[in-house]
Structure 1
C-alpha cells in the first residue's frame, strides 16, 4: 500500500481517496474531543502547552484490517464550534473545511520515524509490540506559515510503502 495525499472527488479525506484509488474499501472510526495535545504538538501548533485543541483520533481500516491509527490536532481558535467537530467533515475532509474557514493549507511538512508501537498502538493495529511502525508527523501550514493541523499517523511498516513526489525548483538559466 502506498501512502499518498491526493483527494479524489467526493472523498472524505486523503486516506479515503488513496484507498479508493487502490480499489479497496475503507472505513474509519473517529473519536472527537477537546484536550491538551502532546507538548511537541502544542509547540508545532504554536499554542500554550496547557491549551486545549480539537482532537480527531481515527482507527482506519481497509476491509476488516486496521491499517493505521491517526490522530489530528487543530488549534481551538481555528476548529472549535466548526464542522471539524462533526463525525462527517464532508467532501474533501478537514483540509476543505479549514480552507472554507480561511485557513487553506498551502504547504505540508512531514517527518517520518520508525519505532516500536506503544502498547495501545500495538493493540489497535493488531500487531505485536516488537514489530516496527512508521510514525508520520504531518503538519499543514497556511500561506503565512501558521500550522493549522498536526496529524500523527502510526502504521505497521509491513503494510505500507511510503512514496513521495514533489516538484523541483528549476535553476535560473
Structure 2
C-alpha cells in the first residue's frame, strides 16, 4: 500500500484476506459495520467503502435490512452466440438449446415512444420518430436472469398484425420471423459488448447488488439493404453468465 492510498484500501485488503482464509463461510453474515469499524479503529465510512469494494469484486453482497454477507458461489451458465444455432427465432438470448428449461420464460411490456437521440441514430430514423419499445425480463429457473429493451421503427410495422412483438401467437417468434411476415428479410446483426456496473434499478430487477459487474450487449438487426429494423440493449449479470462467440471460419 502506498501512502497515497485511501484509508479504506488496507481495510478492504485485510477483509479480503480473512474471507479467503475462511474466517467467514460463504453465506455467513459479517459483523456489523460499527463493530468492524471499532475493530479496525476506522471511521464507519471507511468500512463502508471497503465493503463496497469487495461487493464490486464479488466477494460480498449487501442485503437490504439484513447486513453484509460473504457471497455464495454461483454456477455461471454459458451463453453461446453462434450462427449455427437458432438464436433469433424466439425470446431467448440464451445458450445452447439443451440448457433451456420449461420454466425459462420472460415477461414483456410494449409501448409507443418517440425515438431518443441515441436510438434514432442506431435505427437511422429522425429523432422523435414513433417507435415500438419493448422491455423484457428474462426468467431463468423462475428468477430474473437477464434484462433487455428493444426498439423498432413504428413505420415498419404500423397497421400490421406484427406491430406488437410479443402479442398473441407472435410471442417467442423473434424479430426475424416477424419481419419476414412483412416481407422484410433480416440479413445480419451487429453486436457490441462492453462491461459495466449494475445500476440500482437493474440490481433490483435482477436480484443482484448495485455495482455488480454486468455485460451490456447492444444488438442491431439489418435487412438485405443494410437498413436497421430493430435495435436492443441486453443487461447480463456476469455472476450468472459467461458469454462465448462461435465464429465461422472461411476455408481455403
TM range (shorter): 0.7 to 0.9
For residue 90 of structure 2, what is the aligned residue in structure 1?
Answer: 13
Alpha carbons of structure 1 residues 16 and 131: separation in structure 2 relative to 1, 3 Å? closer
For residue 176 of structure 2, what is the aligned residue in structure 1?
Answer: 95
Q: Conserved in 1, the CA contact under 8 Å of 2:79 and 2:96?
A: no
Which of the residues 142, 155, 167 maps onto 1:64? 142
Aligned alpha-carbon RMSD (Å): 2.3
Q: May I ask how many residue pairs the two structures share in their alignment?
A: 169
More helix by share: 2
Residues in 1 aligned to 2:236 and 2:94: alpha-carbon distance in whole angstroms: 17
Which of the residues 120, 139, 142 maps onto 1:42? 120
Unaligned stretches of 5+ in structure 2? 1-76
TM-score calculated relative to the size of structure 1: 0.86
Q: Conserved in 2, the CA contact under 8 Å of 1:84 and 1:94?
A: no
Bigger radius of gyration among the two: 2
For residue 116 of structure 1, what is the aligned residue in structure 2?
Answer: 197
Secondary structure class of the residue paired with 1:130:
coil
For residue 137 of structure 1, what is the aligned residue in structure 2?
Answer: 218
Q: Conserved in 1, the CA contact under 8 Å of 2:116 and 2:128?
A: no
For residue 63 of structure 2, what is the aligned residue in structure 1?
Answer: none
Secondary structure class of the residue paired with 1:41:
helix
- 1:45-104, Cα deviation, whole Å (9 max, x unpaired): 011111121111110001222110111111111123332414342563222011221222
Higher RCO (CA 8 Å, separation ≥ 6 residues)? 1
Secondary structure class of the residue paired with 1:137:
strand
By how many angstroms is 1:39 displaced? 2.2
Residues in 2 aligned to 1:93 and 1:17: alpha-carbon distance in whole angstroms: 13
Residue 2 of structure 1 pairs with residue 63 of structure 2: no
By how many angstroms is 1:158 displaced? 0.8
Q: Conserved in 2, the CA contact under 8 Å of 1:54 and 1:73?
A: yes
| Equivalent residue runs for 1:27-38 within 5 Å | 27-38=105-116
Residues in 2 aligned to 1:124 and 1:71: alpha-carbon distance in whole angstroms: 13
By how many angstroms is 1:14 displaced? 4.8
Secondary structure class of the residue paired with 1:83:
coil
Residues in 1 aligned to 2:210 and 2:115: alpha-carbon distance in whole angstroms: 24
